[in-house]
Structure 1
Amino acid sequence: MLNGLHRIIRLTLCLLAVMLPLQIYSNCLIAAEEKQAESIEQVLETAHEHQQHGRYAEAREVYAQAKQQLADSKQKNADHQWQLLRGLIQIDVETGQTKSALDRLNEGLKQLPDHPDLHALAAKLYYETGDYPSADKHVTKAIAFNPDQPLAHLIQAQLLTDSGKIDEANEAYRWFVRYYNRAQPEDAETLLVIAEGATQYARWNSVSQIFNFVINTVCPDALKADPLAWRASYLSGSILQEKYNRPQAADEFTAALKTNSQAAIVYTALARSAIEVHDFDKSIELINRALKINPQSIEALLLQCDLHLINGQYLKALVSAENAAALNNRAQTVLARKAACYLLQDGVPDTETLTLLFDTSAAPDQSKTTKADSSRFVKLVTTLLKENPKPGYFLYELGQLMEMKRQFAFAEFAYLKTKTLMPQLSGPKTSLGMLYMQMGKTALAQQTLNDAFKADPYHVRVSNMRKVLGVLDSYGAIVTDHFVIRYDSKADFILGRYMADYLEEIYPEMVKQFGYKPPGKTQFEIYHNAKGLAAHQWFSARMIGLPWIQTIGASTGAVVALTSPTAMKEPYNWAAVLKHELVHVFTLQQTKYKIPHWFTEALAVRSEGKARPQRFNQLLVERVPQGEIYSLDELDSVFVRPKSSDNWNFAYCQSLLCADFMVEEFGTDALKKLLTAYQNQHSTPNAIQESFQIDQNEFEKRYHRYLEKLTATLKGYRPPSPLSFRELQKQHEQNPNNLNIAGQYAYRLLRYRKKQEARKLAHTVLSEQPQQAQAALTIAHLELLSEDLEAAQAVLQPALESDSPDVEVLELAGKILLKQEKFSDAIKVYETGHLKYPYQTEWLQGLAIIYQHEDNPKKLEATLLKLVHLDPADSTSLKLLMKRYLDQKKWEQALHWGQEALYVDVLDPETHQQLAEAALKQNRPELAIRELKMVLHLDDKNEAVRFLLTKTLLDTGNKQEATTELDRLLEQNPNHVQARALKQKL
Structure 2
Amino acid sequence: MRVVLDVGLISAKFFFCLLLALFCVGGVASRNLCAADEPSPTVTWREAYEHLQKGRYEEVEEAYEFLKKQSATKDDLPGEFANSPHPLTGPQYAEIALARIDLETGHRARAYERLEALKKLHSEQPRILGLLAWYAFLNGKLDVAETSAQEAIRIEADELWARRTLAEVYQATGRLKQADEGWRYFVRYYNRVQPEKAEELLLAAEGSLAYARWHTGKQIFDFVLNTLCIDALKADPLFWQAHELSGRLLLEKYNKPQAQQEFQAALAINPRAVTVLLGRAQAAAQDYDWDESNRLAKEVLKNAPGEPLAHTLLARSLLFSNQPEAALEQLQLAKAICPTDPTTTGLIVAAQIQRDGIRSLPRLQLLLESIDHIADLPAAADAPEAYETTLIAAAKINSACGEVLATTGEALEMHRKFELAEKFYRAALAVMPQLTAARNNLGMLTLQMARVDEARTMLDQAFKSDPYHMRVSNMRKVIRQLDGYATLSTDHFVIRYDNAQDELLARYMSKFLENEVYPQLVKQFGYEPSTRTTIEIYSKGNGQTAHEWFSARMVGLPWVQTIGASTGMMIALASPNGLNEPYNWSRVIRHEYVHVLTLQQTQFNIPHWYTEALAVRNEGYPRPAEWNDMLRKRVPRRDLRNLSNLNLGFISAKNGDDWNFAYCQSDLYANYLVERFGEPALEKLLLAYRAGKTTEVALKELFQTDIKDFEAGYLDYLDRIVAQLPGQAEASIEYSKSEVEAALEKEPRNAEWLGRAAMLKAKDRRRDEARKLAREALEIDPHCATAAIALAELDLRGEAPEKAIQKLASALDNTQPDHQLLQRLLPLLIQTKRWDEALKYASLAETTFPSDISSTVALAEILPHFMDLPRYKAVLEKLSMYENDESEYRLQRAEIAWKESDLPNVARYAAMVLEIDVTEPKAHWLLAEGLSGVKPEEALEEFSIACKLDDELAEAWAGWAVLLQTRGQVQEARQKAETALALDAKNARALEVLNKSQPAK
Rounded to whole Å, the distance in 1 between the matches of 2:173 and 2:793 is: 76
Residue 46 of structure 1: aligned partner = 47
- Structure 2 residue 612 is the aligned partner of structure 1 residue 601: yes
Rounded to whole Å, the distance in 1 between the matches of 2:385 and 2:975 is: 70
Structure 1 range deviating more: 476-485 or 589-598? 476-485
- Structure 2 residue 497 is the aligned partner of structure 1 residue 496: no
Matches for 1:730-879 after TM superposition, within 5 Å? 737-763=749-775, 765-766=777-778, 769-785=781-797, 788-801=800-813, 803-879=815-891
For residues 273-318 of structure 1, the C-alpha deviation after alignment (integer angstroms, 9 at most, x for no partner) is 2222333333233223322332222222222222222233323222
For residues 833-885 of structure 1, the C-alpha deviation after alignment (integer angstroms, 9 at most, x for no partner) is 12222111111122334443322233223333333332222322222222233
Rounded to whole Å, the distance in 2 between the matches of 1:768 and 1:424 is: 78
Q: CA deviation at 1:509?
A: 0.3
Local SS of the residue matching 1:113: coil
Letter in 2 for 1:853: H
- Structure 2 residue 250 is the aligned partner of structure 1 residue 249: no
Contact 2:198 2:239 in 1 (8 A): yes
For residues 564-607 of structure 1, the C-alpha deviation after alignment (integer angstroms, 9 at most, x for no partner) is 22233333222111111111111111101100111111101111
Structure 1 range deviating more: 339-348 or 361-370? 361-370
Residue 573 of structure 2: aligned partner = 562
Residue 411 of structure 1: aligned partner = 421
Q: CA deviation at 1:58?
A: 1.0
Rounded to whole Å, the distance in 2 between the matches of 1:968 and 1:251 is: 69
Structure 2: gaps of 5 or more residues: 1-39, 73-85
Contact 1:351 1:413 in 2 (8 A): no
Q: CA deviation at 1:982?
A: 11
Change (3 A) 1:794 1:560: same
Letter in 1 for 2:521: M
Rounded to whole Å, the distance in 1 between the matches of 2:234 and 2:681 is: 68
Structure 1 range deviating more: 508-517 or 160-169? 160-169
- Structure 2 residue 662 is the aligned partner of structure 1 residue 651: yes
Rounded to whole Å, the distance in 2 between the matches of 1:371 and 1:119 is: 47
Change (3 A) 1:100 1:868: same
Rounded to whole Å, the distance in 2 between the matches of 1:179 and 1:518 is: 57
Residue 56 of structure 2: aligned partner = 55
Hey, which bits of structure 1, 4+ residues long, moved more than 6 A?
A: 39-42, 953-960, 962-970, 975-985
For residues 209-230 of structure 1, the C-alpha deviation after alignment (integer angstroms, 9 at most, x for no partner) is 1112222222223233333222
Residue 112 of structure 1: aligned partner = 122
Rounded to whole Å, the distance in 1 between the matches of 2:135 and 2:245 is: 19
Contact 2:973 2:993 in 1 (8 A): no
Q: TM-score, normalised by structure 1?
A: 0.89
Rounded to whole Å, the distance in 2 between the matches of 1:520 and 1:968 is: 50
Rounded to whole Å, the distance in 1 between the matches of 2:877 and 2:967 is: 35
Residue 16 of structure 1: aligned partner = none
Residue 687 of structure 1: aligned partner = 698
Q: CA deviation at 1:977?
A: 9.8
Letter in 1 for 2:853: T
Rounded to whole Å, the distance in 1 between the matches of 2:781 and 2:567 is: 59
- Structure 2 residue 905 is the aligned partner of structure 1 residue 904: no
Letter in 2 for 1:749: K
Residue 432 of structure 2: aligned partner = 422
Rounded to whole Å, the distance in 2 between the matches of 1:443 and 1:41 is: 70
Structure 1: gaps of 5 or more residues: 1-38
Contact 2:494 2:533 in 1 (8 A): yes
Residue 342 of structure 1: aligned partner = 352
Change (3 A) 1:630 1:232: closer
Rounded to whole Å, the distance in 2 between the matches of 1:345 and 1:382 is: 19
Residue 671 of structure 1: aligned partner = 682
Q: CA deviation at 1:175?
A: 1.7
Rounded to whole Å, the distance in 2 between the matches of 1:812 and 1:621 is: 18
Residue 216 of structure 1: aligned partner = 226
Rounded to whole Å, the distance in 2 between the matches of 1:628 and 1:782 is: 32
Change (3 A) 1:874 1:654: same
Letter in 1 for 2:384: S
Q: CA deviation at 1:682?
A: 0.9
Rounded to whole Å, the distance in 2 between the matches of 1:363 and 1:713 is: 67
Change (3 A) 1:152 1:663: same
Contact 2:636 2:729 in 1 (8 A): no
Contact 1:839 1:870 in 2 (8 A): no
Q: CA deviation at 1:626?
A: 5.2
Q: CA deviation at 1:357?
A: 0.6
Letter in 2 for 1:48: Y
Change (3 A) 1:209 1:817: closer
Structure 1 range deviating more: 818-827 or 444-453? 818-827
Rounded to whole Å, the distance in 1 between the matches of 2:962 and 2:262 is: 71
Change (3 A) 1:585 1:712: same
Say which of 525, 535, 548 aligns to 2:559.
548
Structure 1 range deviating more: 950-959 or 289-298? 950-959
Letter in 1 for 2:140: G
Alpha carbon RMSD of aligned pairs, Å? 3.2
Larger RCO: Structure 1 or Structure 2 (Cα < 8 Å, ≥ 6 residues apart)? Answer: 2
Which has the larger share of helix?
A: 1
Rounded to whole Å, the distance in 2 between the matches of 1:253 and 1:773 is: 49
Structure 1 range deviating more: 726-735 or 342-351? 726-735
Residue 448 of structure 1: aligned partner = 458
Contact 1:52 1:260 in 2 (8 A): yes
Residue 36 of structure 1: aligned partner = none
Rounded to whole Å, the distance in 2 between the matches of 1:166 and 1:159 is: 10
Matches for 1:217-616 after TM superposition, within 5 Å? 217-348=227-358, 352-360=362-370, 366-369=376-379, 373-504=383-514, 505-616=516-627
For residues 525-576 of structure 1, the C-alpha deviation after alignment (integer angstroms, 9 at most, x for no partner) is 2222222322222221111111111122211111212222223333322211
Contact 1:360 1:389 in 2 (8 A): no
Residue 18 of structure 2: aligned partner = none
Structure 1 range deviating more: 675-684 or 454-463? 454-463
Rounded to whole Å, the distance in 1 between the matches of 2:661 and 2:209 is: 46
Matches for 1:147-226 after TM superposition, within 5 Å? 147-226=157-236
For residues 401-456 of structure 1, the C-alpha deviation after alignment (integer angstroms, 9 at most, x for no partner) is 11111111112222222222222222222112211221111112222111111112
For residues 731-784 of structure 1, the C-alpha deviation after alignment (integer angstroms, 9 at most, x for no partner) is 657876544433332232222233344335434554665433233223334444
Change (3 A) 1:216 1:781: closer
**Structure whose alpha-carbon radius of gyration is higher:** 1
Structure 1 range deviating more: 782-791 or 570-579? 782-791
Q: CA deviation at 1:63?
A: 0.5
Contact 2:311 2:331 in 1 (8 A): yes
Contact 2:822 2:841 in 1 (8 A): yes
Letter in 1 for 2:293: S
Q: TM-score, normalised by structure 2?
A: 0.88
